[in-house]
Structure 1
Amino acid sequence: MTGTPTFALPGGFLGVTRREADPAIAIAGIPLDIGTTNRPGARFGPDAIRRASKMLVDGDHPVARRAVTAGLSDVGDFEIALGDIPASLALIERQAAPFRHLITLGGDHSIALPLLRALAKRHGPVGLVHFDAHVDTWPDSFGQPYGHGSCFYHAILEGLVDPRRMIQIGIRSPVQREVMAWTLGQGVTVLSAQDVHEQGVAAVTARIRSVAGDAPAYLTFDIDALDPAFAPGTGTPEIGGLATWQAQALLRGLRGLSFVGMDMVEVAPAYDQAEITVLAAATLVYEYLALLQPEL
C-alpha cells in the first residue's frame, strides 16, 4: 500500500474533501436528533460515520471493482434550528433542494421527511425502499406531529412517496394494530426481519425490485434494521434484526434500480461498541455508492 494511511485521511466521507458547486453526488450530514423518542445522540452520527468510512478507501470496491468516489463531494453538515423540529425541517428541505443526488448522514429519521419534500419537487412521488425495525407511520410522536416515528405517515399523506412502490424491510418492533392496518391499507409492502431470515436474501431482493419498479426510488436506512449484535449504537434497538451480511447482500442485489437519493440515520455513537455500528453504517453507504457506478 502507498499514500496516506487510512487513519490520517481528511475528515470527509471516504476522505473526500472537495466541495463542488454542482456535484453529481453530494454527501451531507444532518446532526438533528430532537425527534427521537428513546435514547438521544444521533446528532453525533455524521462525524462518526465519516471517521469510520476511512476504513474503506485502501482499494477498489470488492464487487464493483472500482473506486466509488467519482463525482462525489462531501458538502459538510446542514444547518438546523436548535430545539425546533418544524423550523429544522424547513431548513433541511431548503438546503437539500439544489442537489441532483443527495446522500445524507443522520441524525434521526425525522430528516427523511424534508428530504422527500425536496425530492418530490424534482421527481414527483418516488418509490421508497425502507430498512428499519419500525414502520415510522405513526400519526404523531407522543403528541408531537413531527418525529422520527411519523416521517412516513406524513410522506404518504403529502403524496411524496407512492405507497404502492414502498417496501419496508426488517420491521419487528411493537406497533399498534391500527397503525399497521393503516400502513398496509395504503398499499405499503411490509417484510419483517423474520421474513428475511426465513425467505432468504434472493427472494427478498426479488420482492424489493418488483415493488420499487423502474421509476425513481429513494433508499432510507435506519441502522436499527440491523440486530443490536451488529448495531448497538442506536436509540431504539430491537432484537431479532438483520445481520450486516444480509443488509449488504440485499443492497448489492438492487443494482439497476433508479435510485435518486439515500439517507443513513439513527446512528448514536455513544452507545456503540468498538465502532461496529458506525462501520456498518459507513459500509452500507459505500455499498449504495457502488450501486451508482456504471457496470464495467
Structure 2
Amino acid sequence: MSEVDGKSSPSVANSAAVADADMPLYGAMGMTFMQFPAVTTLSQCGAEVIVSGVPFDMATSGRSGSRFGPQGIRQASVNLVWEGARWPWAFALDDHLAVADAGNVIFKHGEPQTLVDNLEAHISAIMQAGKSALTFGGDHFITLPILRAYAKKYGPVALVHFDAHTDTYSGGSKYDHGTIFHHAVQEGLVDTEHSLQIGIRTAYTVENHPFEVLDAAWVGDYGPATTLERIRQRVGDKKVYVSFDIDGLDPAFAPGTGTPVVAGISMDCALKVIRGLQGLNLIGMDVVEVAPAYDQAEITSLAGATLALEYLYVLAANKMA
C-alpha cells in the first residue's frame, strides 16, 4: 500500500473531529480505493481529491448492511486498477489528477450524532485544505452532514441526485435516510431551482415538490443525451454536488442494496450521464447504499466503484480543459 505522509497504517484524518469516538466495528480499512495513496494528515497531502468511507447504516428503513459499502467498493475497485487509461478516456487518471484515500470516518457505534458531527467536520477539513471530497456510504443519511459542510463554504449548492426515491419525506425520524433532502431544503443547503432528481420510481407528493424530477421511465424513454441536456439547462454554472444512491440503478445492475426497486436506469445510461457532466462546476460526490451482503459476484460494489472512477475522470478532464 502506498504512503503519503510517512505513516504505514491507513487511518482517518481525525484532527477535525468534534466528538471523541472509539473505533467502531467495521470502521477499519483494509485497502484503499483504486490503490490510491493512504493519507492521515490532510495538510501534508498533495492530493486534489480525498476519498473517505462512512460505514454507517443506522438510518436505513430497509435492509441494513450498507455499513460494509466502503469496504465493498474499495475491494471491487481492484478490478479497475489494471486498466491504466480507462475506456473511453484517452489518458490515465494519475497523470492529471492526484487522489488519496483518508480511510473511514470514525464515530461512536450506536450514537448517530457523533457520526453527524464527525462527518461534517471531516468534510469541512477536506475543503479547508483546498481539496474536494468523494465519499462512500453507508446509507443515504450521510449526505445531509456532507451538504451542511459544503453549504457552509459555498452556500446553497446545485444537487444532481440519482435515486429510486426522492428522500424528501417529512415524517421520518431525526436519523432517517428517507428525509435527508427534506431537511436539506428546510436548512437552505441546496439551490432547488438548479437541482434535479434522476431515476425516481417511487411515490412522492408531486404538488410543490422542490426539485425537478426526471423519473426512471422518462430517462428510459429519452435516453442519456436528453437527460444530460436537461441537467445542463437546470444547473447552469452553479456549483454542483452529485449524490448517487446505488438503488437508482435497476436491481439487474445493483441487487446489493437495502431498498431495491425494479425498472431503474441501466449502468450504461448512468455512466454516460456521469461522463457527460464534463464541463460542469463539480465540487463533490457521494456513492451510497451499497450493501454487499445482498450482492451477486460483487456487481453492485463494482458499479459503485466504476461510477466513482468515472466521476474522477470527469474531474481530470475538467482540469485539462
TM-score (norm 2): 0.84
* AA at the equivalent of 2:185: I
Instruction: Say whether the 8 Å CA contact 2:38–2:103 is kept in structure 1.
Output: no
Structure 2 matches for 1:52-201, cutoff 5 A?
Answer: 52-58=76-82, 59-69=84-94, 70-99=97-126, 100-141=131-172, 144-175=173-204, 177=205, 180-182=206-208, 184=209, 186=210, 188-201=211-224
Unaligned 5+ runs, structure 2: 1-29
Unaligned 5+ runs, structure 1: 1-9
> Considering only aligned residues, what root-mean-square deviation do their CA atoms show, in Å?
1.4
- Does 2:298 correspond to 1:275? yes
Tell me, in whole angstroms, the C-alpha distance in 2 between the residues paired with 1:140 and 1:34.
Answer: 17
- Give the Å deviation of 1:245: 0.3
Paired residues, number: 279
1:292 is paired with a residue whose SS is: helix
Structure 1 stretch 13-22 or stretch 232-241: which is displaced more? 13-22
Tell me, in whole angstroms, the C-alpha distance in 2 between the residues paired with 1:55 and 1:90.
Answer: 34
- Give the Å deviation of 1:60: 0.6
Tell me, in whole angstroms, the C-alpha distance in 2 between the residues paired with 1:84 and 1:153.
Answer: 22
- Does 2:45 correspond to 1:24? no
- Give the Å deviation of 1:213: 1.2
Instruction: Say whether the 8 Å CA contact 1:130–1:167 is kept in structure 2.
Output: yes
1:11 aligned partner: 31
Instruction: Say whether the 8 Å CA contact 1:68–1:286 is kept in structure 2.
Output: no
1:230 aligned partner: 253
Seq. identity, % = 44
1:161 is paired with a residue whose SS is: coil
TM-score (norm 1): 0.91
- Poorly superposed stretches of 4+, deviation over 6 Å: none
1:3 aligned partner: none
- Give the Å deviation of 1:68: 2.2
- Give the Å deviation of 1:95: 1.4
Residues 169-209 of structure 1, C-alpha deviation per residue, up to 9 Å, x if partnerless? 0000233x3xx334x2x3x1101100001111111110011
